[in-house]
Amino acid sequence: MELQHIGFPTDILLIFVGVITFYMATDIHAHHQNRTMTLKEASFWFLFWVAAALCFAGYLWVGYDPAWAKLFLVGFVLEESLSFDNVMVFMVIFASFNIKDVVLRRVLFYGILGAIIFRLAFASIGTALYAASPWVGLLFAAVVAWTAWKMLTAGEADDSLEDYSHHWSVRLTERFMPVFPRLHGQDMILSREKAEELQSQDPSIQLKAQAARYATPALLCTMVIQATDIMFAFDSVPAVIAVTKEPVLVWGAMIFGVMGLRAMFFILSSLMRFLVHLDKAIIALLFYIAAKLAIEAGNTIIAWPNIHITPGQSMIVVFSILGMGVLASWLLPKKE
């Protein structure tokens, strides 16, 4: 039996607003404490957001339809899985600007806020386009397949060699504001007076131009993170839309998935060397999503191949692929 559209229920929208508000409030409170996140704290918050997502799925199960709950869970797990690639790139970006400790946490805050905004915007546009024409499904399938192919052909390339300090977003920022060459606490912008004071204390600091404001490496790093957020949203939104075309469920998967991204960063930065084959599982997962999009588009456009993948089957495939990636990392660790 075909599901009715869930629409835009007020109670679910209020839940989303409450979740985002709670995230921002807790993070701002953490900034005032002026400390970095420990592995124990990161593990707690990651499990907290997973539990919150499960509670939301339970709300959908009881208040709406079990099928909606399954679709949300598959989208959430998929978003969390694709966030693994986000974290990998974030690590390289932070290394390029020598960002760490408390400053790292603040940059992550703005990065995750940008990820929420861009993903919600792309999800709204993507679901509207998909509803307008089934041919959009083929376009999304191509985007997801291209992302998987790029990851596959990257092979064992050392991403740490890439220098994001010359990213196009950095050059764009430098057009509007001169750069102060050193970090100064958590400040992203320094006044002219403060910059000259620091220069007088350290003559090795060279100011390229006179200006009322100066951008610090923390601001440049934030700009790069925001730029990569756009690219990640362009990749991940079609993948989640392959699971469900309902905007509210796509938004939910994006919101709850991104909420745990900050904690995931600190966890994976400690456990990255143990999850050596998870990237291969993500590549396989992306190829599956591309195939699912193409099949659904074919069913609608030319009534072929007439294969229908249920939410339960998608859930089994997603969990199985990720489970095999984790299991392979445990059984076949890379040699030092």
Token pair for 248: 């509210």
Neighbours of 273 (CB within 10 A): 11
pLDDT for 11 = 92
pLDDT for 162 = 62
Q: Domain for residue 267, yes or no?
A: yes
Q: Domain for residue 188, yes or no?
A: no
Q: Domain for residue 173, yes or no?
A: yes
Token pair for 316: 């089994």
Q: List the domain range (segments joined by +) for residue 92.
A: 10-179+216-331
pLDDT for 57 = 94
Q: Domain for residue 148, yes or no?
A: yes
Number of domains in the chain: 1
pLDDT for 159 = 45
pLDDT for 17 = 92
pLDDT for 62 = 92
pLDDT for 336 = 53
Q: Are 66 and 315 in contact (CB under 8 A)?
A: no
Q: Are 112 and 280 in contact (CB under 8 A)?
A: no
Q: Domain for residue 28, yes or no?
A: yes
Q: Domain for residue 200, yes or no?
A: no
Q: Domain for residue 196, yes or no?
A: no
Instruction: List residues bridging with 179 in a β-sheet.
Output: 215
pLDDT for 51 = 94
Given CA atoms 306, 312, 313, 314 in this order, what sign does their dihedral have? Answer: positive
Q: Domain for residue 210, yes or no?
A: no
Using CB atoms within 10 Å of the CB of residue 58, give its burial: 0 to 12 exposed, 13 to 18 middle, 19+ buried.
exposed
Selection from 297, 286, 305 nearest residue 139 by Cα:
297
Selection from 104, 229, 222, 93 nearest residue 163 by Cα:
93
Q: Please state, in angstroms and rounded to a whole number, the distance separating the CA atoms of residues 133 and 273.
A: 43
pLDDT for 32 = 58
Stretches where the chain sits below pLDDT 50 are: 1, 157-161
